[in-house]
Amino acid sequence: MLTSIEMEGNAAFGLRFLGQAQEHPMPNCTKNIISIDALNNAPMAEACELLAPIFERSPWLANAIVQGRPFFSTTELGDRIRETIFSLSEQDALILLNAHPELAPSSPETMTDASQSEQGRLGLITPKPDIARRLIDLNAAYRARHGFPFVTALHKFQTMDAVFAQFEHRLNADTPTEMRSALGEVVSVATQRLDDVVEAGQRGVNCAQPTIAPTHSRKVAQ
């Protein structure tokens, strides 16, 4: 379990563009469909590459997850993702959370394709000025209080009103509690992305016995 955290939120924040932003087109790419069998049987480097898009700019986490092969279903893989993320040290948890973008960042084109798609669904690639202004204030206040960006699983929301309600509620939480909440959101994002790219016939069902030898599970390096 994560221990209590004491941190200073003294990061400086620049002003973001509040007017009509230049429109950034949504990424037009085909998702790479993967299978649990392929993940189990691929060489280590290739397996990490297959799983890396599930996590936000955190290939080291994909490496840690792959160490737990073989997996017999997406449910088992999801359990491994959850277990690994919640067993991270405070330092690694901060690295993971800080790899995620803020909501409506000033340079949305720098986000991963997955994040652009998730934020774009709610209009956060080119937000209206009032929404952009509100998010600038909330993003700055949240990071100053907790030391990492606000992370939420946007696939659970249909409106920005619901997003703002959660944002404002979590802003006032104590940091150790909020870190666990944020890690839970990372798990939700990762398992949703996994469900989006895994072969439909292998979602939540047992797969064929992999040919590789099982690797003992181990924690991410502290």
pLDDT tens-digit series, residues 50-101: 999 999 999 999 999 999 999 999 999 999 999 999 999 999 999 999 999 9
Q: Is residue 24 part of a domain?
A: no
Confidence at residue 15, expressed as pLDDT on a 0 to 100 scale: 33
CB-CB neighbours of 97 under 10 Å: 23
Confidence at residue 81, expressed as pLDDT on a 0 to 100 scale: 98
Comparison of pLDDT for 16 and 95, the residue scoring more: 95
> In the 8-state DSSP scheme, what is residue 153?
-
Q: Is residue 12 part of a domain?
A: no
Query: Percentage of the chain surpassing pLDDT 70?
Result: 75
What φ, ψ does residue 114 adopt, rounded to 5°? -65, -45
CB-CB neighbours of 219 under 10 Å: 13
Q: Is residue 168 part of a domain?
A: yes
Q: Is residue 21 part of a domain?
A: no
**Residue 41's domain spans which residues?**
36-202
Q: For residue 138, what is the domain's CATH number?
A: 1.10.3330.10
Across residues 104-110, what is the average pLDDT?
96
Record the pTM: 0.78
Tokens of 116: 């652009």
Q: Is residue 139 part of a domain?
A: yes
Confidence of residue 33 (pLDDT cuts 50, 70, 90): confident
Residue-wise pLDDT tens digits, 164-213: 999 999 999 999 999 999 999 999 999 999 999 886 545 554 444 443 33
Q: Is residue 121 part of a domain?
A: yes
> What per-residue string of b and e applies to 202-214 under the rule 16 or more CB within 10 Å gives b?
beeeebeebeeee
Across residues 17-26, what is the average pLDDT?
37
Q: Is residue 93 part of a domain?
A: yes
Annotated catalytic residue, options 24, 100, 146, 155? 100
9 CB-contact burial (10 Å; exposed 0-12 / middle 13-18 / buried 19+): middle
Alpha-helical segments (H) within 18-159: 36-41, 44-51, 59-66, 74-86, 90-98, 113-120, 129-146
Across residues 30-46, what is the average pLDDT?
87
- Does the active-site annotation cover 100? yes
Confidence at residue 32, expressed as pLDDT on a 0 to 100 scale: 67
Total domains in the chain come to: 1
